[in-house]
Every structure is written in C-alpha cells, then in structure tokens.
Structure 1
C-alpha cells in the first residue's frame, strides 16, 4: 500500500481527492519540431485537499526547475488586459502606501517586467525576483532591475544583507507555484520594513470550485488557494492579513494585504468576511470536494460530444491560446489533431512548437484568417472577451467561438 503524501502546509497525510485528471505532461513544456519523434514524460495530475488545514494541492511530483528555466515560454506582456491590470494596481498602490523616490518595491516572479515597468516610470526604485532567465532579460530591456533566483528564507536573507528591505513586496500568481509554501512566505518578513506591506494575487479556490475551473490544475500550480488555508501559513511566518479584495482576473482572484504582526495597519474586516464566504461555499466540507470530480468528468463528456458531432459534420476546428490551462483540458479530454487542426497564440516563442501531449501545432493568429475554420475554441477562457474582440473578424465567414469552461458554450 502506498504511503499518502503529506500536506505541504501542515504535514498531515493527504487522503481526500478533489480531482484526478490522470497522467499529463508538464503544461508549459512545449515541444520543438526537431523533438517531435521523441517521447514526453507524463506525471500524475491528482489534486487533494488536506482535511486538517484545507489546503488544496498537488503532491510535488515535479521540481520547480522543471517549470521555471531559461527557456520559459510564458511572457506576461502578451496579454494586454493583464498589463492594464498591472498599471491599475501601480496607480492604486502609490497613493495608498505613499510610495515615492525614497521607497523600495520588490516583486516576486516579476516575469518580463510587465508590472514593475510602471514603478520605474514613476521613479520608484524596484527590484524583480525572477528565476527564468529569458523573461528576466526581457524585463531588463524595460529598465527593470532583475535577479534570477527562487525566493525563500535563504535568498531573502541574502537580499536583506544587500540592503533590500522594502515598503511594498508583491507577487501576482506566484504563491500557487511554489513547492515549499512555508519557506516562501517565511522569507517575506526578512525583506519587509517594519511598516511594509505584502500584496499577493492568486486565483481563488472558491471560484475554481463554484465555476468548474478544473483546467487551472497543472503541475506548475502546486497549491489552489483559499484564505482559510493561508491564514495559518502567514501566522507561522509572523505576518498578519489585514485586508483582502476580490478581483475578476483569472476567473476570480483574491488580492491579500499582509504586514508584520505588530505593524499599525488596521484590519478592514474583509478578511473575516471572506473566510465566512468560503465556509458558506463549502470549502471546509469534504462533501464539496467529493462532488467536484463528477462535475469535471461531465465537462469532459460534453466537450467530446461537441467535438465528435462537429467533426462528423466535416467542420474544421482551430483553437486560440496556447495556455497552460488549455493543455490540461486537451490532455485530460484526449483531444489532439484528430479534432483540432492547430492552436494560435500571439507569443512568438510558442509559435512553431507543438503543444505538450496533444502535439497540436502552434501558429500565429494570422493562420485563422488564412484557413477560415468553422469553430475557434478559446482555451484561455478567462480572457474570452479580449480574444473575441481581437478575433471578431472570424464572424465574417460564419466562424463561431466555443468556450469550454464552466460548461461548453457556442457563441454566435
């Protein structure tokens, strides 16, 4: 009998399934054409919930360096809506935290400088911490000082010794990506000034469960986060959550605000309210998680039913967005080039490669207007409005958009 994996937060055995998506390749391990004849490694994609602290997680079957390296394919700046979101954040934080030229800002997982570039333009000193060399290089071209490293207690001590104690420490969509969440959060107080503030954004587990966002499960995401599960992690690190905002990004996210335990930032009451919402939504009830897996299976059946019917009618199907969530969906459903001719993406780093597992070729968005498919499946459904606006010309020949999550929908 296999020994259960242990919760990465509290070390309790993991025995309760949220969703078992079988075996899947690493979602951002795009295949180069010259490697098309080579095999790929598939890993279990099985999410569990800890019955003790309620952290939803994947057992760590892959090392972080498997995902974050010098050939990383995700560049934040290719989503215009995400760059606009980052600009709004900077415009809000500067007055709220009274930031100026004597302040310091640090971003964890700063990617290609999509956010810190706005602090640079405002004349506020900042530093990006980014383990992937190619995105860090792109950030430097924007004038963003970047250090190629993984953040944790030891690197935080190194940064503090170099004088990096900051007024604002931020991280967007990084907390789910760290295998040792206690070490990551535990390093934060070391680089934080006594009255400094931490803000972190991440997709909210409550929305994932309520809206069937199972395709956001992939190996690069070790944890799926609720405020209920995060409170003890921050408390162990000596940090106090004093505010939280609910955001529409990535299908529904939280932005949390934290500070040192004895800092003067007043509690807004929103943390307690959000924890109650999570309880009301069933996130502290094992029955909620047991019911989720059947919703996942039904989505697979519905998408395959649509695909099979379309192909039997000789319809041509292309997909938009070579996103990690799309790779989870395609591999779980067993969809390859037998259903989808190609996928398009604005990111030139992905173009010319093959999707992991499904081996669907990635092309430029121009390919859609050249081949005129009957359906365009939007894989990054969280930016579907942006995609439909960008690709609205496809309606000229009767092409229809298909959105797979939370349920299969054909948009006329």
Structure 2
C-alpha cells in the first residue's frame, strides 16, 4: 500500500505489524485441513495527512462476504443494542408510518426486524447470500448487493429516498470508502439522516484492542477521520455518541451537507479528546506496538504454565477478533484444546491458521475445564453471566484484553 485510500497521500507510517494471517472468517471444514491456506500481511499504518488508520486492501469484500460466518442474532446483547437504537431513532427523528428506513450490511435482519415490528417500511442491503436469506426468512425485506453509488441510486429509484440510512459496523469493512459514502448519500433523502456505528480508534489504542485489527477491517476511525470520510461523499457530521459496543464505538449522525447545519458540542468534545490523546500527531501511536507485544507474552506465559501444570484451557467464542489473537500468539490445540460457539454454522469447523476445533457450547459443562479463555472479550458482562456455571466445579474465566485477567466465578448456591 503506497497511498492513503481517503486522501491519496503517500505519508503512511507504521502503527503495528501483526505478521501474516489468514482471513479471520475463513473457517476450515475438516476436509480442508490438508490444503494450503493463504495468509496475508496484517500491518496497520496511519496517514499523517488525514490521520486515517488503514490496512492494505489485500483481500476483497467479495471474497469475504459472499458466504459469511457471522450472524448478528446469536449475540443477545447485540440484538438488544439494535432494539434500543431503533427505539431511540424513531423518537429522535419522529419516524412514523410513512417513513422509510434502509440498513446497509443488514446481516440477518437483527436490527430491521425491530423496524418491521413498528410497522415502518424498510429494506436491508446485504452482500452475503446466506445471511441475507436468513433475514428474508425472518420477514425482513432484503436485497443481496454491495453498496456503491450505482446501487444506492437504483434502490432510491425503485423504493424512494430513505428518511434514515443505517450503516452499523460496516464503515470499516469497505476499501472504497469514498464510493461507499457516495452510495450512502445516494440512498438518503435530501433532508434525511445517516447513522454510522464504527469502532473508535481512540479506545482501540488506549485499551490494547489490537485483536480487532483484521483483514475485513480496511480502516480504523477517529471522529476526525470519519468526518473527513463522510465529507468525501457529500455528508456532514452533525452529532456523535460514544458507545460501549465492541470495546468502544462511536455513533456518527450525518446529514446531506446542504441541510446539515452546525455540529453539536459533543462533536467538539470528542475531537478535543482525540487531539489530547495524540491521535492527530504520531505521539498517540508510539507505544502501541510495545503494549501489543506484552499482551502476547502474558497470554502465552499463562497458557504454557497451565499446560505444564496439567490444567485444561478451552475457548469460548470463535469471533474474527479471536482469530487475530490466536494467530498472532501462535496458539494451537496443544495450548487451547478447542473453542465453542453458539453459531451452529461454525460447529465442526476449525479456526483459520491455528486449526483449533470449534464445538457446541455444551462441551464446556461436559468437560469441566480448569479455564475458559473468552475470545469475544467485548461481551464481558454478558458472558460472565452466561458462563457462571463454570464456577460450579471451580473453573475460572480468562480475558486476554486489554490485559490478562483471570476471573473467579462463584459457585451457585444450592437452596433446599
């Protein structure tokens, strides 16, 4: 990668180099274990002209999303987050029965089903054939497309302009950020709203969340760089909310530039925080690579010492971020016997690169391991509750990010 994909500058500086890994959602079937497995460099750089952090576009969205292993509805907290967003957006924007809502990268309909339930007309635009089919089966109108200016214009011509366009957890997933943003502008009404949720680079850096760096994420946004990206397609940032999702995200509210008006004070407050953290100069990135290396050393030391004591460690979850962590640390079944996942699509498959078996969640209670390494650490509160049964045999939970944390789970009291 020689040029910034947002501003075209050649002023790209290394932030952290995680080596080479397979694409994080390329789970392996049993009959694929003896085949070659491609790996691609995972090297995050930042543009010192526009401050967009980015990976080189070594794989295409088409390779990743034609058939996708991630179904949003399997996360209870994520479905609740979507319900609360819809309720808040309906109130904020006074969306009534005549409104039209479009979600880009709508996955299995986990968010739009709440729009359907309110009797509001909606449409999902989802590139993955399998999860889009699941959305339609759930009663959510969905078209199978990647968003581009042409797609946006075609949807608008057929269905009308959208009062609200939602783009949650997709703005990092597209290499053509300018074209995608122009697609958002094509969809939204001239007096409408666009809501974008994306992980916040500020918390990624501050909380050592390096495992959220993977090939599906082509860029990593501050509010400052996100505002520049939105402007590239004719949208103006008018408000921002800081969210706890994915370890720390931002919700960006934007409008067509012609009607946007002045941004709220919250935008200025977050921009000031980012500047104070050194994210608009190189000072904020300087020590990140060293802190990433410490996460790796601490986790490997724990796993090796547990193995030498004869203790069993298994995983919980098989998220994309987990595969960055497993590959960067070189963790294979000798240190992590298996991991489990609620998504049946992944059962019987193996993690890319490290070939850790993925089993149904029931195996944890059956095997009673000494430790459970929680890979989707961003769902900590939800999973500490879900995995409370591990305390029944004295098992403990392990969280690797932002630093190694071993959690004692109290055994449940037995009442007469």
| Structure 2 unpaired stretches of 5+ | 409-416
The answer to whether the Cα contact below 8 Å between 1:318 and 1:375 also exists between their aligned partners in 2 is yes
* Matched ranges for 1:6-405 at <5 A: 6-69=3-66, 71-263=67-259, 267-405=263-401
Separation of aligned partners in 1, 2:64 and 2:160 = 27
Query: How far off is 1:283 after superposition?
Result: 0.5
Separation of aligned partners in 1, 2:340 and 2:11 = 38
Separation of aligned partners in 2, 1:324 and 1:110 = 18
Separation of aligned partners in 1, 2:11 and 2:175 = 15
The answer to whether the Cα contact below 8 Å between 1:17 and 1:290 also exists between their aligned partners in 2 is no
Query: How far off is 1:269 after superposition?
Result: 1.7
TM-score by length of 1: 0.97
| Aligned-residue RMSD, C-alpha | 1.1
Q: CA deviation digits over 1:82-139, x for unaligned, max 9?
A: 0000000111111211111111000000000000000001000000000001100110
Q: CA deviation digits over 1:194-225, x for unaligned, max 9?
A: 21000000110000000000000000000111
State the SS of the aligned residue for 1:338.
Answer: coil
Separation of aligned partners in 2, 1:272 and 1:299 = 33
Query: Once structures 1 and 2 are overlaid, which stretch shifts more, 178-187 or 158-167?
Result: 158-167
Query: How far off is 1:266 after superposition?
Result: 5.4
The answer to whether the Cα contact below 8 Å between 1:178 and 1:222 also exists between their aligned partners in 2 is yes
Aligned residues: 408
| Structure 1 unpaired stretches of 5+ | none
Query: How far off is 1:288 after superposition?
Result: 2.1
State the SS of the aligned residue for 1:38.
Answer: coil
Separation of aligned partners in 2, 1:301 and 1:119 = 46
Q: CA deviation digits over 1:349-391, x for unaligned, max 9?
A: 0111000011000001100011111000000000022112111
The answer to whether the Cα contact below 8 Å between 1:14 and 1:48 also exists between their aligned partners in 2 is no
